[in-house]
């Protein structure tokens, strides 16, 4: 899915932290993968990454459904409702870049996002999870805890060397590598946030300004933290739509980063995160909430 069309530099809306029903802690029943992509479109997203906990089962389910519908069409056996689903997948796929990935739980419970080019095979991603010591029996569970796995620095290196983006998930909050409220030494935090294989920090306070913010802390001004880090925000959505009972439980596309790219590709995204132009990402601030025609 997705276009690979070169064009002038423009801002794209990107959410690289999205869960699906393949995550064991997914909160909303009766949601299909097509429903999720429709939601992404309604939210105006241009780039999304599916990052379920320690699994690529969600990526696999989406890919399998599209492949099965495509096969039925080629065999001339597709039913009208199936034809409509396939056409909807294709239409949305021409607008939104859908990237595969996972949210890995490293040793001591730290979370790391891994995002890969859209052509990356499910088998190769499962091989990476096994290399990171996720037990074979847990590959399809989508659990947040999977026992003793690889450490944070190993995760960064393995993801980077496999051609992916390594992003420290919600770095400034629970399970985050900035170690806020955790009694680790400063050298550990320096290593976890300055490693050369780490591409970005996902933070929850990107909308705030000043030196007390996570982005301000990792701005490269501190001698012990000389590497300025790219900071982004993501929804970390476990619902398709924001939970009405708890507004802090975000839905798909409720916390978005804008990124300035010459083309809507994984390669262009990675070039930003491996470069030193920090003006090419910013928090997206919608002028008004999107209108939900279905609701």
* Segment 35-44, tens digit of pLDDT: 999 999 999 9
Tokens of 233: 């925000």
Q: What angle do CA 25, 109, 106 make, to 5 degrees?
A: 100
Q: Which of 269, 289, 290 is nearest to 280 (CA)?
A: 269
> What pLDDT, on a 0 to 100 scale, did the predictor assign at position 183?
61
Helix and strand tally (H, E) in the chain?
8, 9
d(CA 252, CA 287): 17
For residue 184, pLDDT beyond 80: no
pLDDT digits (tens, 9 = 90+) for 271-295: 999 999 999 999 998 766 555 544 4
For residue 168, pLDDT beyond 80: yes
Residue 257, beta-bridge partner list: 14, 283
> What pLDDT, on a 0 to 100 scale, did the predictor assign at position 130?
98
For residue 181, pLDDT beyond 90: no
Q: Which of 15, 5, 8 is nearest to 255 (CA)?
A: 15
For 78, the 3-state DSSP assignment is coil
Query: What integer is the mean pLDDT of 203-214?
Result: 87
Confirm if 62 and 111 have CB atoms less than 8 A apart. Answer: no
Look up the pTM and report it. Answer: 0.93
Would you place residue 186 in the very low, low, confident or very high pLDDT band (cuts 50, 70, 90)? confident
Who has greater pLDDT, 185 or 225?
Answer: 225
Confirm if 166 and 196 have CB atoms less than 8 A apart. Answer: no
> What pLDDT, on a 0 to 100 scale, did the predictor assign at position 294?
43
Where do the H-state alpha helices sit in the chain?
A: 33-42, 57-74, 80-93, 122-131, 152-161, 186-194, 214-217, 266-273
Residue 214, beta-bridge partner list: none
d(CA 85, CA 100): 21
For all residues of the chain together, what is the average pLDDT? 93
Query: What integer is the mean pLDDT of 25-42?
Result: 97
Local structure of residue 109 (DSSP, 8 states): G
Q: What percent of the chain has pLDDT over 70?
A: 93
pLDDT digits (tens, 9 = 90+) for 215-269: 999 999 999 999 999 999 999 999 999 988 888 899 999 999 999 999 999 999 9
Q: How many other C-beta atoms can be found within 10 angstroms of the C-beta atom of residue 267?
A: 10
For residue 57, pLDDT beyond 50: yes
Query: What integer is the mean pLDDT of 157-166?
Result: 98
For 145, the 3-state DSSP assignment is coil
Confirm if 184 and 118 have CB atoms less than 8 A apart. Answer: no
Q: What is the H or E stretch that residue 228 is in?
A: none
Strand ordering across the sheet containing 47-53: 231-232, 200-202, 165-168, 111-115, 97-105, 47-53, 6-18, 257-263, 281-283
Q: Which of 182, 269, 259, 273 is nearest to 227 (CA)?
A: 273
E strand segments, 117-234: 165-168, 200-202, 231-232
For residue 208, pLDDT beyond 50: yes
Would you place residue 182 in the very low, low, confident or very high pLDDT band (cuts 50, 70, 90)? low
Confirm if 149 and 104 have CB atoms less than 8 A apart. Answer: yes
pLDDT digits (tens, 9 = 90+) for 97-150: 999 999 999 999 999 999 999 999 999 999 999 999 999 999 999 999 999 999
Residue 105, beta-bridge partner list: 111
Confirm if 38 and 85 have CB atoms less than 8 A apart. Answer: no
């Amino acid at each position: 899915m997705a276009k690979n069309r070169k064009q002038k530099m423009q801002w794209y809306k990107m959410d690289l932290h999205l869960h699906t029903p393949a995550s064991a802690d997914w909160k909303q029943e009766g949601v299909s993968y097509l429903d999720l992509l429709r939601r992404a479109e309604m939210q105006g997203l241009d780039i999304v990454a599916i990052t379920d906990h320690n699994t690529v089962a969600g990526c696999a389910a989406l890919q399998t459904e599209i492949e099965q519908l495509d096969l039925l069409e080629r065999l001339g056996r597709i039913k009208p409702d199936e034809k409509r689903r396939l056409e909807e997948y294709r239409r949305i796929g021409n607008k939104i870049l859908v990237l595969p990935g996972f949210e890995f739980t490293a040793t001591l419970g730290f979370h790391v996002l891994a995002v890969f080019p859209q052509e990356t095979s499910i088998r190769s991603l499962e091989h990476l999870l096994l290399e990171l010591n996720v037990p074979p029996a847990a590959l399809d569970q989508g659990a947040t805890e999977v026992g003793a796995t690889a450490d944070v620095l190993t995760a960064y290196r393995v993801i980077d060397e496999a051609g992916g983006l390594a992003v420290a998930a919600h770095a400034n909050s629970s399970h985050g590598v900035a170690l806020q409220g955790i009694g680790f030494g400063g050298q550990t935090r320096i290593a976890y946030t300055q490693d050369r294989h780490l591409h970005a920090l996902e933070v929850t306070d990107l909308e705030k300004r000043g030196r007390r913010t996570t982005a301000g802390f990792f701005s490269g001004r501190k001698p012990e933290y000389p590497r300025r880090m790219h900071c982004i925000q993501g929804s970390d959505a476990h619902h398709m739509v924001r939970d009405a009972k708890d507004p802090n439980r975000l839905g798909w596309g409720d916390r978005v980063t804008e990124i300035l790219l010459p083309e809507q590709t994984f390669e262009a995204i990675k070039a930003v995160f491996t470069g030193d132009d920090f003006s090419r990402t910013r928090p997206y601030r919608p002028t008004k909430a999107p209108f939900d025609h279905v609701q």
